[in-house]
Amino acid sequence: MQAGLPPELEALKNTIRQIVKDECYPLEAEFLANPSQEGGDEGAPRGIAEALSGLLGTLPKESWDRLNKISKDTGIYTSFVPEEYGGGGTGALGHVILDEEVHKSIVQLPTSPVPMMMIGAATPEQEKEYLLPSVEGKLHYAFGQTEPNAGSDPGGMMQTRAVLDGDDWVLNGTKTFISGATTADYILVQAVTDPEKRQRGGITMFIIDNPSPGLSFDPIRLWINPTKVQQFTVNLDNIRVPQTKVLGEVGQGFTLGQKWLVHHDRLLRGSMATGILSRALEMAIDWAKERVTYGQPIADRQAIQWMLTDVYIDIMTLRASTRETAIRADNGEDVRVEASMIKYCAGEWGWRSIDKIMQIFGGTGETLDLPIAHWYHILRHARIGGGTSEIHKFVMARGLLDGRVSFQG
């Protein structure tokens, strides 16, 4: 297990933890007690509102404004952003530390919605127009890779095409399960530019402003947010994109997308799960000590003790693996296989552990006045969103069989 953090990250962790405890925990009861007919929280900053879209709670706008200001004033908001873009430069390890602490509350402390794939790939003009405003939270993006028939194998099955026509690229195709597409200021879309090369130099990333002529959306209703649509099918009908809106080199879009997925959609799943589970375990321990049945606290019963220890083991093991993988990523190592392992464990272990937490709480755990049921939705979804557990086992197996990963220590 990871034996301690660098002093600066230990200090950052403690600062975030205290702020979340002092500022976010006290707002949870109000948030969950004030359901919105729309689902989600329209007063929250974009990004946070999207993350909470499956939760039936709201807060006054001034409460979110206060949290946003605290996050920015303390430097937490951009702590993980590279220094050259105005951030704290804590890297992947700092980001997972922050992410774990933020996810301990159902009321999330706002952080920068920076599109990590643009860092190092954007031109100076693209940095000025898109990246820097995104770092500051003034612009928000969506990422368009998944297609109706290209979810598990986007490189091999992607059908969205981009054809050069004069000074513009013309895009046609369909993307699906795109989070926050309608409210995004721009969408980073992958399209095939060389059908022969495909993911090996034939997929390009484009910046598409929203709105744009030919861009339309169809809502997708999901069980985790039944009262407010947050996922969409994105239709691209002869959308013209100037060559200045190509992100990175032509043909390198798949590589840029993998950079985003490894960090945002896999590594951060580990910190999300440990944050949720560590808070849930704390709540379950307190509950087990207080809840009395047949004359004794349920904490005295072996069945409850074993569930608590199972959750503890999952937290400690997943946290250590997540931090180790983040350190290796900061050292420049290829951690694609390890990130798939983190994603797999976050989903499978996170779901089984939150299920035990709910069992300990019994009927109380199913009430919407506590975060437990909402966390259950989030962690069950983690087995599917960002690639199913089975797909990530395939990625791990392929890494083992071709010798790209070591397990000898």
Helix 268-290 to helix 302-330 angle (10° resolution) is 160
Instruction: Give me the percent of the chain exceeding a pLDDT of 90.
Output: 84
Give the global pTM: 0.95
Average pLDDT of span 314-339? 96
pLDDT for 79: 97
Residue-wise pLDDT for 241-281, tens only, equals 999 999 999 999 999 999 889 999 899 999 999 999 999 99
Residue-wise pLDDT for 382-396, tens only, equals 999 999 999 999 999
Q: Which residue has the higher pLDDT, 333 or 48?
A: 333
CA-closest candidate to residue 112, choices 120, 386, 383, 90: 90
pLDDT for 1: 43
CA-closest candidate to residue 135, choices 175, 78, 173: 78
Q: Assign 47 a pLDDT band (cuts: 50, 70, 90).
A: low
pLDDT for 152: 78
Q: Exposed e or buried b for every residue in 390-409, given b needs 16+ CB within 10 A?
A: ebbeebbeebeeeeebeeee
Instruction: Give me the percent of the chain exceeding a pLDDT of 70.
Output: 94
Average pLDDT of span 82-88? 96
Q: Assign 34 a pLDDT band (cuts: 50, 70, 90).
A: confident
pLDDT for 150: 84
Q: Does pLDDT of 308 surpass 70?
A: yes
pLDDT for 274: 98
Residue-wise pLDDT for 113-151, tens only, equals 999 999 999 999 999 999 999 999 999 999 999 999 988
Average pLDDT of span 41-61? 68
Q: Does pLDDT of 53 surpass 60?
A: no
Q: Does pLDDT of 357 surpass 90?
A: yes
Strand partners of residue 231: 179, 220
Token pair, residue 225, equals 């947010």
Residue-wise pLDDT for 203-232, tens only, equals 999 999 999 999 999 999 888 766 677 889
Q: Assign 50 a pLDDT band (cuts: 50, 70, 90).
A: low
367-370: list long-range contacts, CB under 8 Å, 24+ apart: 368/32, 368/35, 368/56, 369/29, 369/32, 369/33, 370/32, 370/283
Report the 10 Å Cβ neighbour count for 47.
Answer: 18
Q: What DSSP assignment string belongs to 256-314?
A: HHHHHIIIIIIIHHHHHHHHHHHHHHHHHHHHHHH-EETTEEGGGSHHHHHHHHHHHHH
| DSSP structural state of residue 152 | S
CA dist 14 and 33 (Å) reads: 29
Strand partners of residue 175: 234
pLDDT for 201: 96
CA dist 175 and 409 (Å) reads: 41
Name the pairing type of β-strands 231-242 and 215-220.
antiparallel
| DSSP structural state of residue 138 | S
Token pair, residue 276, equals 């949720």
pLDDT for 330: 96
Residue-range domain boundaries for the chain: 7-114, 141-251, 255-401
Strand partners of residue 187: 142, 208
Cβ atoms of 358 and 284 within 8 Å: the answer is no
Is domain 255-401 annotated with CATH 3.40.50.10330? no
Strand partners of residue 141: 186
Token pair, residue 13, equals 């962790």
pLDDT for 311: 98
Q: Which residue has the higher pLDDT, 223 or 47?
A: 223
Burial of 227 (0-12, 13-18, 19+ CB in 10 A): middle
Please provide the CATH number assigned to the domain covering 141-251. Answer: 2.40.110.10
Torsion of CA 170, 173, 177, 180, to 10 degrees: 30
Q: Domain 7-114 class?
A: mainly alpha
- The helix (run of H) or strand (run of E) holding residue 389 is helix 389-401
For 5, phi then psi, to 5°, come to: -115, 160
Q: Does pLDDT of 37 surpass 90?
A: no
Q: Quote the mean pLDDT of the chain.
A: 93
**Among 124-133, 151-160, 324-333, whose mean pLDDT is lowest?**
151-160
